């Protein structure tokens, strides 16, 4: 039993470590893209909202700070039956600023992707940029930079690297590790994880894949994977940064996001994909769907084998939780398992609004 536990634990930690070390080698490689400076296609920015009244004006101000030709920018807020006056606030912002803004309203809430598809039908841009209301882009050149990457005909989608607002904590530790993987995977071919804080897509490709996938929660990542599966690169770029607010109910938020990632990877396994995309896709699918379960498997076999050495090992595993990176890792595994289980009774496509404050997180 103790050998079985050791094997499970070794496999659990070795697989992500090996992938991470392999990925790091890719970081040094060139991008292999031909991007054109000064490329300014027509862009449609879509902000999906559900009860974002405290944040919507700051979000629109942030977009307005972008250095991009105004005549090449369409901004759409698509709201799904908010009860806190979000669309009215957006309209007032547009009147006061005399800024062209289209506010679309869904009479009923059917989830974010459903709303994005409504907005997509109104989009005139060659490029469609999705951005969540609770995020911002620190650099005014963000749109220009995103457009520059998309000037390469092999790139179909681009996303940002993200960091949490506020002081550094577990969430930030987790982000450092993940951003390395996102960049490395992007250099391999495409990353299967995109961010709703900034996800830019070529519109013709969105239309080709039939719009945003409304049957699962991680619309941002799954759209990127569908585009990568159709033969285009979907990348996270090193010069695109976004900041997101971390809600107070951290644990519930993480479980829901994990739940959506599980839905996304399970669906991605059914796709036929280009050769260069197989490694990042299958590695991430394994890390999200299978690898977490080896950890309780190891703990259970230790507990079952009883005896002093086994219990001492179990105790050491628990004591190591005092070490922050290890704790962040274990927490992530728990979120993924909780998410997989929760998927058995709900897909949570119209999720509970979490409370976030503009000054952000305590974590
Ligand atoms: N129109 C509309 N309709 N917008 C919605 C709905 C809806 O039913 N539900 C959520 N939104 C909006 C929110 O107002 C926000 O602007 C954005 O979608 C993201 O929602 P958050 O509540 O901030 O969720 P998050 O920060 O955890 O979202 C992340 O994970 C999601 C998947 O779990 C982001 O990466 C999202 O892009 C991703 O879809
Ligand atoms: Mn958010």
Contact 280, 194 (CB under 8 A): no
- Give me the pLDDT at residue 157, please: 98
- Give pLDDT, residue 164: 72
Q: Is 254 in the pocket of ligand 1 (CB under 6 A)?
A: no
Convert the pLDDT of each residue in 179-237 to its tens digit: 999 999 999 999 999 999 999 999 999 999 999 999 999 999 999 999 999 999 999 99
**Residue 359, number of CB atoms within 10 A of its CB:** 8
Ligand 1 in reach of 292 Cβ (< 6 A): no
- Among protein residues, the one with the nearest Cα to ligand 1's atom 9 is 112
Give the closest residue (by CA) to ligand 1 atom 39. Answer: 218
From residue 136, alpha-carbon distances to 2, 66, 131 in Å are 49, 11, 8
Is ligand 1 within 6 A of the CB of residue 111?
Answer: yes
pLDDT at 168: 62
pLDDT for 363 equals 35
Please tell me the predicted confidence (pLDDT) of residue 358. Answer: 52
Q: Which residues of the chain have pLDDT under 50?
A: 359-363
Mutate to test the pocket of ligand 1, among 58, 112, 335 (most ligand atoms within 8 A of CB): 112
Find out whether the beta carbon of 348 lies less than 6 Å from any atom of ligand 1: no
pLDDT tens digits for 247-279?
887 889 999 999 999 999 999 999 999 999 999
For ligand 1, atom 32: residue with the closest CA: 218
| Both tokens assigned to 276 | 């260069």
Q: In this predicted structure, what is the pLDDT of residue 309?
A: 87
112 CA to centre of ligand 1 in angstroms? 6
Tokens coding 48: 């999906």
218 lines ligand 1 (CB under 6 A): yes
**Cα–Cα distance list, 251 to 151, 246, 255, 263, 347 (Å):** 39, 11, 6, 19, 17
Distance 4 CA to ligand 1 centre (A): 41
How far apart are alpha carbons 2 and 121 in whole angstroms?
Answer: 58
pLDDT of residue 349: 93
Predicted local distance difference test score (pLDDT) of residue 357: 63
Distance from C-alpha of 101 to C-alpha of 95, rounded to nearest angstrom: 9
Q: Is 284's C-beta closer than 6 angstroms to any atom of ligand 1? A: no
Q: Atom of ligand 1 at shortest distance to CA of 50? A: 14
Return d(Cα 50, Cα 193) in angstroms, integer: 23
pLDDT at 346: 94
Residue 112 Cβ inside 6 Å of ligand 1? The answer reads yes
Confirm or reject: Cβ of 222 under 6 Å from ligand 1: no
Nearest ligand to the C-alpha atom of residue 220: 1
Q: How far is the CA of 203 from the centre of ligand 2 (A)?
A: 23
> What is the structure's pLDDT at 361?
38
Closest CA to 125 of 159, 63, 75: 75
pLDDT number for residue 214: 96
φ, ψ (nearest 5 deg) of residue 120: -60, -35
Best residue for ligand 1 mutational test, from 45, 46, 48 (most atoms within 8 Å of Cβ) = 48
Tokens describing residue 262: 């599980």
The DSSP call for residue 106 is E
The predicted structure's pLDDT at residue 249: 79
């Amino acid at each position: 039993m103790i050998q079985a536990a050791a094997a499970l634990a070794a496999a659990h930690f070795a697989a992500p470590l090996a992938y991470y070390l392999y990925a790091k080698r890719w970081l040094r490689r060139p991008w292999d893209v031909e991007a054109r400076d000064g490329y300014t296609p027509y862009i449609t920015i879509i902000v999906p909202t559900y009860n974002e009244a405290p944040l919507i004006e700051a979000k629109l101000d942030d977009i307005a700070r972008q250095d991009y030709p105004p005549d090449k920018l369409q901004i759409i807020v698509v709201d799904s039956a908010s009860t806190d006056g979000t669309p009215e606030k957006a309209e007032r912002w547009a009147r006061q600023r005399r800024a062209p803004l289209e506010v679309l309203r869904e009479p009923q809430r059917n989830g974010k992707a459903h709303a994005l598809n409504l907005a997509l039908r109104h989009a005139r841009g060659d490029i469609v940029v999705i951005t969540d209301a609770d995020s911002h882009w620190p650099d005014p050149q963000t749109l220009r930079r995103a457009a520059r990457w998309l000037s390469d005909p092999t790139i179909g989608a681009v996303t940002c690297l993200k960091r949490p607002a506020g002081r550094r904590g577990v969430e930030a530790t987790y982000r450092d590790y993940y951003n390395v993987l996102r960049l490395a995977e992007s250099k391999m071919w495409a990353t299967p994880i995109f961010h709703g804080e900034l996800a830019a897509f070529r519109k013709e490709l969105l239309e080709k894949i039939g719009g945003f996938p409304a049957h699962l929660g991680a619309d941002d990542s799954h759209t990127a994977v569908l585009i990568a599966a159709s033969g285009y690169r979907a990348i996270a770029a090193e010069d695109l940064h976004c900041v997101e607010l971390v809600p107070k109910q951290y644990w519930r938020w993480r479980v829901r996001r994990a739940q959506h990632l599980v839905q996304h990877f399970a669906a991605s396994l059914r796709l036929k994909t280009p050769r260069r995309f197989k490694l990042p896709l299958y590695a991430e699918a394994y890390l999200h769907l299978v690898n977490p379960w080896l950890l309780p498997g190891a703990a259970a076999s230790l507990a079952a084998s009883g005896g002093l050495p086994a219990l001492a090992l179990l105790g050491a595993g628990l004591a190591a939780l005092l070490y922050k990176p290890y704790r962040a890792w274990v927490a992530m595994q728990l979120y993924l398992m909780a998410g997989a289980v929760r998927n058995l009774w709900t897909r949570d496509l119209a999720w509970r609004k979490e409370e976030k404050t503009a000054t952000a997180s305590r974590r």
